[in-house]
Structure 1
Amino acid sequence: MSDAPTDSTHPEAPTGRDYRETVFLPETPFPMRGGLPQKEPLILEQWGDLYSTLRSARQAEGAPLYVLHDGPPYANGDIHIGHALNKTLKDFVVRSRFLLGYDVDFVPGWDCHGLPIEWKIEEQYRAKGRRKDEVSKAEFRAACREYAAGWIEVQKAQFLRLGITGDFANRYATMDYGSEAAIVKEFHKFKNSGQLYRGSKPVMWSPVERTALADAEIEYHDHVSPTIWVKFPVIAATDDHPDDLLAFRRQTPSIVIWTTTPWTIPANRAISFGPEIAYGLYEVQSMEQGLEFEPWAKQGDRLILADKLAEEVFKAAKIATWTRLDDINPSGLVAAHPLAELDDGYRFNVPLLDGDHVTDDAGTGFVHTAPGHGADDYDVWKAHGHHEVPDTVDPDGAYYPAVPLFPGLKVLETEGKKTGKFGSANPAVIEKLIEAGTLLARGRLEHSYPHSWRSKAPVIFRNTPQWFIRMDKALDHADGATLRETALTAIDQTDFHPAAGKNRIRSMVEGRPDWLISRQRAWGTPLAMFVDKHTGHPLHDPEVDARIVAAIEQGGADAWYTRADSDFLGLHDPANYEKIEDILDVWFDSGCTHAFTLETRDPAHGYTGDRPSHWPANLYLEGSDQHRGWFQSNLLEGSGTRGRAPYDAVLTHGFTQDENGEKMSKSRGNTTDPAVVIKESGADILRLWVALVDYAEDQRIGKQILQTTVDAYRKLRNTVRYLLGALADFDEAERVDYADMPPLERFILHRLWELDLQVRGAYETYRFQDVVRPVLEFCAGDLSALYFDIRKDSLYCDRPDAIRRRAARTVMHEVFLRLTAWLAPLTPFTMEEAWTTRYPEGGTNCARVIPETPSEWRNPDEAARWAKVNTVLDVVTVGLEESRRAKFIGGALDAWPTVTLPAEAFAAFDGLDPAEVFRTSGAEMIVSGDTISATIKPADHAKCARSWRRVPDVGSDPAYPDLSARDADAVRWWDARHA
């Protein structure tokens, strides 16, 4: 009955009676427009402490416990779209597990220590004319703590407005006194197991931030560096290789190196070569002509290079012709430093060292080796028995005063508008090489270069004493396995969503260096330990450790800096011990959150409160960048202290881009602010966008995409609204048993059975897109386009006690129960509004579990039948549309199609009224041929004044001469009740 009245508009009946009041139109106070920005805050108020309500209900039921551990966002600034995506996905997990009948433990947390906050406080002090070193550590740390606490409250409110459900009342923060004490306790486990050591080796260092950085704090950006080719004059060949002296009789040759870091030349102590690389001695014959400058190479120069790279080097040096004089074996050669002629401080031998890291893919085949400024350099230097590593650059990235020729010059600018730009060191070194006659060529190279992810400034490798956790020392609790081996085993025992995450984190752990955990800053958890000044080893004393932890529990980590050493050391003489004041890497902080958030509330460890958790967590959920960050720090911390990862499964999501697939940036003006979306459209729109995207990949958002989301939301809302209207005053007395259901109702119940299976499986495996998309298709296709359209006539015009109408309302009731449950985790505000509209005293929709779906609803035969029926319906619908456009008919109820179809298709209509399926007044079915065709003919019967159907029995009831028999019966029923 596609042309039946859908509102109060109805043409005057031929007899003059207005039958509008007798039509059972849908009635509901649930509005078509959502008004979410105004309505959602009211629903939040109604919910109150929803999380406690849900946990109490599930615990009373004895539900199994599910634990999602929250990776802490940083307490610094308003939430952005990445936060919204991440927390919404977590909320999908929490709410869907409640929906599936679990008791869910989810405690939101915040990461509070680290540089961004420290910088903000430094800026505040500078604005007041005070330098950081003029402020006590206690005062400075208190300011940091206050700043972080303020942002926790801001972000907490923003997450709650988004509809996030969790134990916010008992949130965790890494700066809480108990958290800091627990972190120190975890650190002591590494200290006391012998996995901790202090090493002096080159680490990535940020001169701008004045601290070491871990791999997880590094990001790579394009960067333009100066490049130089430098000659190291050969001064000797060892007696082990006397044949090499023949090549040097006439003129001393030079070994040529290439580097993108000229500033490291003062730190050079060796040259590395590849044992498998072919090297040659070359003599310059002539230079290129017509140049605008005089090249530094000269005719007669003798250069030692990798044969594969010689031509490339000559091109850079503007050498036109050359002669290869001999093969060269670099082993045993010794060179002079290229600055030796300018200052006695560089008059030392530069040995040639073989190293597997040297290739002939680029450069010269030789690697300038500064052991204080590169991991490979350091390793090859140590491997050849050298122990002294020179310190040339201070924490500000400036040469120490003792560095010959260059004292005080900066590698990078650390202040002002040029912060992060190259300082004076590079040009000064290049000028001195020219003066010494050892520069062969120079250039520029754009390449990927490490930057701090916080300051965005370039970093350098710098030799500093730092504290490390060994990756390859056998653990006492792991049957002799190392931390690396234990972590790799834990990875293999973890489920990854998507599965590719396993290989990603595995490759990182396989190749990662020892875990650098110390930082030279003020705002963080300290490496709270004492080191014996005579042995250099950390103090292992359980009583000292216990006093340290107790003091921090009582007064926070500030106690480490404010209390006297004797308070901790007891009978130990403070004069014999060095107090370590470095802070822990913030990744170590957040890597310990499982210990003080989950393990302390595990009944297996004695917990008896009303907020139980369990260790390990069922799931960790963060962005894919956390394979090198939070996932890995938790993996290493758990493996090092407990022999396994603190999680059973890991889920990762991609990053949010703008509509063009570009990275979001405030400076480019292409960001999407979640607060703006919520204010303009509502949180459910943002949540529905999250549900619709493939979160495992990078996803896009913008005005156009959000409009598409609004359109999808409108379909869901209209479906629920129609159900509410159609179900007005429905009660169980109307229910029709399955055995009495018409075929169409059986088909819809079968679709509910199918969807129920699909939705449960998708929620179990975190495939939220596979919940919302099939449900949307069901609403738009099976319901709106088919079921609602067919049953509209029955709902509006059948008398209320008619079996067909009762069956339809029974099925719509079941549809409503499931739609409001299935969609509750994704669009909780809208489903709450729908539920409470129908059941104002029914409690919160969020506390429901998915209703059990009877197995008898499974009916593949009915599904197969309706697949065939829909094929015929499609043909008829096309014919009706063409006839309507040609004005041959006004609407479908003016038609009486003749359908010709094969016997198999005809059999599908057994027990069905074709006119009801086609939404026409009648239909004729003819079995013939192998194809389906439809001829649209006008219905030539009188028009019923109530239902508008043109059927033969209009006027058959004398009391209602302008109605069909069905409508006359319904109006008589209505009149009797309104007499």
Structure 2
Amino acid sequence: MTTSSSEPDKTSLADQYRDTVFLPRTSFPMRGGLPVQEPKWLEHWRTSGLDERLVAQAEGRPTFTLHDGPPYANGNLHIGHALNKINKDVINRAHRMSGYAVRYVPGWDCHGLPIEWKVEEEYRKAKRDKDSVPVLEFRAECRAYAARWLNVQMEEFRRLGVQGEWHNRYATMDFSSEAAIAEEIGRFLLNGKLYRGLRPVMWSPVEKTALAEAEIEYHDHTSTTILVAFPIVRDPTPAQALADVSVVIWTTTPWTIPGNRALAYGPDITYVVLQVNETEPGALLEPGAKVIVAEALVDSFCKEAHVAAHHVLYTLPGTALEGVVCAHPLRGAGYDFDVPMLAGDFVTTEAGTGLVHQAPAHGEDDFQLCRAHGIEVPEVVQADGTYAPWVPRFAGVHVFKAADVVCEALSEVMEEATAAGRAPAGLVGRGQIVHSYPHSWRSRAPVIYRATPQWFIRMDGENSLRDNALAALDDVTFVPAQARNRLTSMVRTRPDWCISRQRAWGVPIAVFVEKHTGEVLRDAQVMQRVVDAFRTEGADAWYNSPPERFLGPDRDADAYEQVFDIVDVWFESGSTHAFVLGRPGLTFPADLYLEGSDQHRGWFQSSLLESVGTRGIAPFRALVTNGFVLDEHGRKMSKSLGNVIAPQDVNDTMGADVLRLWVMNSDTNDDLRIGKEILKQQGELYRRLRNTLRWLLGGLDGFTQAEAVPYAELPELERWVLHRLTELGGLVARAVETHEWVGVYPALHGFCTTDLSAFYFDIRKDALYCDAPSSPTRRAVRTVLDILHRCLTTWLAPVLVFTAEESWTARFGTENSVHEQAFVDMPLEWMDPELEERWTRIRAVRRVITTEIEGARRSGAIGSSLQANVELTLSQEEAALFAGVNWSELAIVSHVEVVIDPTSASVYVEGDEGGLLHGAPVVHVAEGEKCVRCWKVLPETGSRADRPGLCLRCADVVTGMEAATPEGA
């Protein structure tokens, strides 16, 4: 059998010339191995003193201050923590690389109920009575618990690549912090805005303390609903004949009936006096009973009260109820007081009967209305949620178990009234409703409104804190912009700020109250003694010192009550600006606060009120909010659903850089989604970015600045790449200034994959691999690759902190870090919109050509695109427009023959439609031989006897390389 010698000859020639091709070389591997490599980079930065060098580098620069909202030192970090801290870290790093001095002091919230709750859980497991533990011992255990988790979280944040002054972190339980918090309380004390008052607050019967709105979450809850009749006992207009009529209310909180002291009606609502004609089984009203309900709610009332037939005796305007007085439905059972009817603008006809019972101790509207009419606010419910001993019939019953007891009592009254032929009194109907109800987000238990003596900061009055806070927000930038409405509406409607909690772990509201007068002592010297003691001994000094230490020798300690309520943790975190931003190099106000959108009712608001109340200005110039993290299906994460994504697991399996990329590829203005598939997608995006960096590094092997080409000498394609870089540079610069980063890194990824990998790299790899080192085109390509590498590596550095460092050091060594570099300055001459427009058209034509080539490949007419010759038809105008374009280079084919059609005004449709009018490119099999070095198929291949198998370009390159190689090398 005879074999052809041509193929072995080509193979042999290809092997002979293999080393003359400038294939990419780099130490930067295709796979990152992030879970293993990232901790090594953290250790390298620590031992090489990167943080110290960054501090030295910042000298003399303008300052950028992002004040860290303190996470709670309680348990491992969750994905929301990672989102928040990564966001902050990207912004800080980008500002540093933009020329700012950045000092980032991370902090922790260490006091309050969640930590107490955890310590008490250990007590409960050990069957230990918390109340029997000395308060200082209990506080010490809370401090140790918080310190342990603070250190755990610190290491977890560092593992995420977050750069900060970890050695200089702040914590609200530091002695200096506790002193500063006490000093801030003192500022409100001395300016007259701190007062003790009685009003309803959110109260947790389980935790036995008041709660802030930010400590509340809402869950579906099944409540008993009741209709209750209050018989009218006094009517100022006898012509209405209401003496035998009862007012019916509807409530979802039967347990508040013992606390009822009034009824509210709507002045603008039309009511009816309704007489029952017939009833259904289960009805508690008898035929002939007369009741008042809103006209708009008659049908729903009859349905719930099982009234089968009725008729309206007459209608009443709401104003006709002014001055009407009812009896409490439990009159005769210890509730022998009048219940006046009062006009309330909060009464609606959305549900119930259009009449609302008022328990002033258990509702904000109830409290305000009753206090305005001089009605007492009774204390009927104790701290643990049970009725007080002095509450008739219900003493000791827990409010959440009171529905049956209350309904039983009201049923008995109704039976007695019916038997006596009196107007209805007591229970009229009973049902159930599933509705959104407030719960403590720590114990997950439902809460109640309960009026107790608490410490408040006054929102209104002279020098109104509310008005000043709203005015201060006028100068604040919000990202996203619509967040302004959320915060301003919350400030506009919030009641006085309740800052007291009935717990033990925290900073006490260190004030004294004069027993004789009930007045709080407002003495600057007393307050200063407190602050000085806290600064050296911590807040424990309040518990282990005699009151004389603070009151001084001129006051009788027995004449004063020492207050042991602790301050709300939101006040503590809201005052962190006072002991963080005051440090050298940290400006006040801060340039930026960044937290989740829930902090409009939490830290953003408490910081605003605290700072405006003590300093007259907001503590921030800008507020950035991000959404919540949900699973891939938009569900809240929970262990029961098995959909929790822990940042620690992502670090260990994929690497922190992938998690950081997920953050910056997401729309953080809205709720974000994460899951295994989403992370898998992010891993793919990461791989493409990494491959882009690897390609750049490979193409830059051996590059020096002596090889660089001035901008004016660059080919048009290279100048187009630099124009695109200026657009991206502008995108990054705007994000730095505005804090609006959504879309920046997706745009960067799109540039890498579409403009570079699928276009520019694909076109220029021939020149890069096969041109002579001295070739102007190859030098231009490497000049642009150098700029691309510097730009992309620094732009990616705030996000891919480990990968960017690896890319930088693979080229420049480990003597310096990418994180010490500045973003590349973009010369104005690189911006060329006309070039952008021209290349948009050129690329559109190229897409048409490559589509035809792909068709030829699928049909088997050609193998690779280099086996093609293309006949390209252009109009005369297009030929002029595309003058100088090397179509064979752009289409990556061996030859393109341009044919001018003089009969056509345009071959290619401009605008959104795209495509051809006529004259599609025609693909032919290229004539000639394949060059064994560059693989182009050209007639000239092999024409030089001394360079068999090579095209003329490659023959010249190889000859030049041999001439440049010393003999014997």
Please indicate, yes or no, whether the TM-score normalized by the shorter chain is above 0.5.
yes
Alpha-carbon displacement from aligned partner over 1:852-883 (angstroms, at most 9, x marks no partner): 12222222332222222212211110111111
Q: 1:51 to 1:243 in 2, by over 3 A?
A: farther
* Equivalences for residues 190-229 of structure 1 within 5 A: 190-229=188-227
* Contact 2:505–2:566 (8 Å) recurs in 1: yes
CA contact (8 A) 1:759 1:770 kept: no
Partner of 2:916: none
Q: Does 1:169 align with 2:167?
A: yes
Once the two structures are TM-superposed, the CA of residue 16 in structure 1 deviates from its matched residue by 7.4
Corresponding residue for 1:474? 462
Question: Cα offset for 1:236?
Answer: 2.4
1:749 maps to 2:741: no
Q: 1:28-85, CA deviations, whole angstroms, 9 ceiling, x for partnerless residues?
A: 111001111111111111111867335424333x210000000000000000000000
1:544 aligns with 2:544: no
Contact 1:281 1:325 in 2 (8 A): yes
User: Secondary structure of 1:659's match?
Assistant: coil
| Residues 1:349 and 2:338 aligned together | yes
* Other-structure match for 1:955: 942
Aligned-residue offset at 1:333: 2.0
Contact 2:14 2:933 in 1 (8 A): no
Per the TM alignment, residue 237 of structure 1 is displaced from its structure 2 partner at its CA by 2.4
Does the residue aligned with 1:575 lie in a helix, a strand or coil?
helix
For residues 135-155 of structure 1, the C-alpha deviation after alignment (integer angstroms, 9 at most, x for no partner) is 011000000000000001000
CA drift at 1:537: 1.5
Output one character per residue of 1:236-287: Cα deviation in whole Å (capped at 9) or x when no partner: 224xx2323x343xxx221111111111111111112222222222221111
Q: CA deviation at 1:310?
A: 2.3
Partner of 1:426: 403
* Residue number in structure 2 paired with 1:621: 594
- Output the amino acid matched with 1:958: A
Does 2:309 correspond to 1:310?
Answer: no
For residues 788-823 of structure 1, give each alpha carbon's deviation from its aligned partner in whole angstroms, at most 9, with x where no partner exists.
Answer: 111111111111111111111111111111011111
Which one of 273, 278, 289 corresponds to residue 301 of structure 1? Answer: 289
User: Does the C-alpha gap of structure 1 residues 645 and 893 become closer, same or farther in structure 2, counting only changes over 3 Å?
Assistant: same
Aligned to 2:572: 589
1:506 to 472, 488, 491: 488
User: C-alpha distance in 2, partners of 1:81/1:945?
Assistant: 54
Would the alpha carbon gap of residues 952 and 354 (structure 1) be closer, same or farther in structure 2, given more than 3 Å must change?
A: same
The superposition leaves residues 270-326 of structure 1 with CA deviations (integer Å, 9 ceiling, x where unpaired) of 1122222222222211113xx3xx421111112122222223212211111122223
What SS is found at the alignment partner of 2:938? Answer: coil
Partner in structure 2 of residue 52 of structure 1: 51
Distance 1:671 1:644, change over 3 A: same
Structure 2 equivalent of residue 147 of structure 1: 145
Alignment check: 8 A CA contact 1:203 1:462 kept: yes
Q: In structure 1, how many angstroms separate the alpha carbons of the residues matched to 2:511 and 2:291?
A: 54
Q: Which residue is 1:653 aligned to?
A: 626
Other-structure match for 1:931: 907
**1:394 alignment partner, one of 370, 378, 382:** 382
Q: Which residue of 2 aligns with 1:566?
A: 548
Task: Give 1:934 shift.
Answer: 0.8
**TM-aligned CA deviation for residue 15 of structure 1:** 4.9
- Over 3 Å counting, the alpha-carbon distance change for 1:11 and 1:651 in structure 2 is farther
CA distance in 1, matches of 2:943, 2:522: 103
> After superposition, what is the alpha-carbon deviation per residue over 1:821-853, rounded to whole angstroms, capped at 9, x for unaligned?
111101111010000000005500001111212
For residues 459-512 of structure 1, the C-alpha deviation after alignment (integer angstroms, 9 at most, x for no partner) is 11111101111000223xxxxxx1000000011110000011111100111110
Between the aligned partners of 1:535 and 1:909, the Cα distance in structure 2 is 93
SS at match of 1:666: coil
| Identical pairs, percent | 51
Letter in 1 for 2:272: G
SS in 1 for 2:640: helix
Determine whether 1:255 maps to 2:243.
Answer: no
Farther off after superposition, 704-713 or 275-284: 275-284
Preserved contact between residue 10 and residue 949 of structure 2 (Cα < 8 Å): no
Of residues 858, 866, 884, the one that matches 1:911 is 884
- Alignment of structure 1 residues 359-370 onto 2, 5 Å: 359-370=348-359
Q: Deviation digits for residues 82-136 of structure 1, max 9, x if unmatched? A: 0000000000111000011100121100001111110111122233332111101
Aligned pair partner of 1:336 in 327, 344, 350: 327
Aligned pairs for 1:13-32 (under 5 A) are: 13=11, 15=13, 18-32=16-30
CA deviation digits over 1:506-543, x for unaligned, max 9?
01111100000000001111000111112212112222
Q: CA deviation at 1:365?
A: 2.0
CA distance in 2, matches of 1:350, 1:858: 78
CA contact (8 A) 1:13 1:946 kept: no
- Answer yes or no: is the 8 Å Cα contact 1:496–1:649 preserved in 2: yes
TM-score after normalising by structure 1: 0.93
**Of 953, 966, 969, the match for 1:966:** 953
Q: CA deviation at 1:978?
A: 6.0
Partner of 1:858: 831
3-state SS in 2 of match to 1:346: coil
1:847 aligned to 2:843?
Answer: no
**Is 2:271 aligned against 1:279?**
yes
Is the deviation greater in 739-748 or in 11-20? 11-20
683-692 or 704-713, which deviates more:
704-713
C-alpha deviation, 1:970, in angstroms: 1.3
Tell me how far apart the structure 1 counterparts of residues 818 and 877 of structure 2 sit (CA, whole Å). Answer: 45
Q: Which secondary structure state, in structure 2, belongs to the residue aligned with residue 513 of structure 1?
A: coil
Compute the RMSD of aligned alpha carbons: 1.6
Partner SS state of residue 553, structure 1: helix
Q: CA deviation at 1:974?
A: 2.5
Q: Secondary structure at the match of 1:923?
A: strand
Q: How does 1:637-652 map to 2 (within 5 A)?
A: 637-652=610-625
SS in structure 2 of the partner of residue 107 of structure 1: coil
Matches of 1:225 and 1:507, distance apart in 2: 29
Partner amino acid, structure 2, of 1:431: E
| Separation of aligned partners in 1, 2:724 and 2:292 | 78
Aligned to 2:606: 633
Q: Deviations over 1:178-225 (max 9, x none)?
A: 101100000000011111111111211110110011222222222111
Structure 1 window deviating more from structure 2 (578-587 vs 530-539): it is: 530-539
- The gaps in structure 1 that reach 5 residues or longer are 1-9, 413-422, 476-481, 603-611
In structure 2, what is the equivalent of residue 127 of structure 1? 125
Distance 1:247 1:98 in 2: 77
Distance 1:368 1:745 in 2: 78
Amino acid aligned to 2:738? T
Q: Which moved more, 1:482-491 or 1:317-326?
A: 317-326
Distance of 1:433 and 1:808 partners within structure 2: 90
Other-structure match for 1:268: 260
Q: Match of 2:788? A: 815
Contact 1:955 1:964 (8 Å CA) reproduced: yes
The one-letter amino acid paired with 1:588 is: F
Q: CA deviation at 1:17?
A: 5.4
Equivalent residue number for residue 347 of structure 2:
358
Q: For residues 327 and 935 of structure 1, what CA distance do their matches in structure 2 show?
A: 88
- For 2:671 and 2:377, locate their aligned partners in 1 and report how far apart those are by CA, in whole Å: 44
CA contact (8 A) 2:45 2:51 kept: no
Q: Is the 8 A contact 2:534 2:541 kept in 1?
A: yes
Report how many residues are paired.
929
**1:321 alignment counterpart:** 309
Q: Tell me, in whole angstroms, the C-alpha distance in 2 between the residues paired with 1:648 and 1:969.
A: 64
Q: Judging changes above 3 Å, is the alpha-carbon distance between structure 1 residues 841 and 117 closer, same or farther for their aligned structure 2 residues?
A: closer
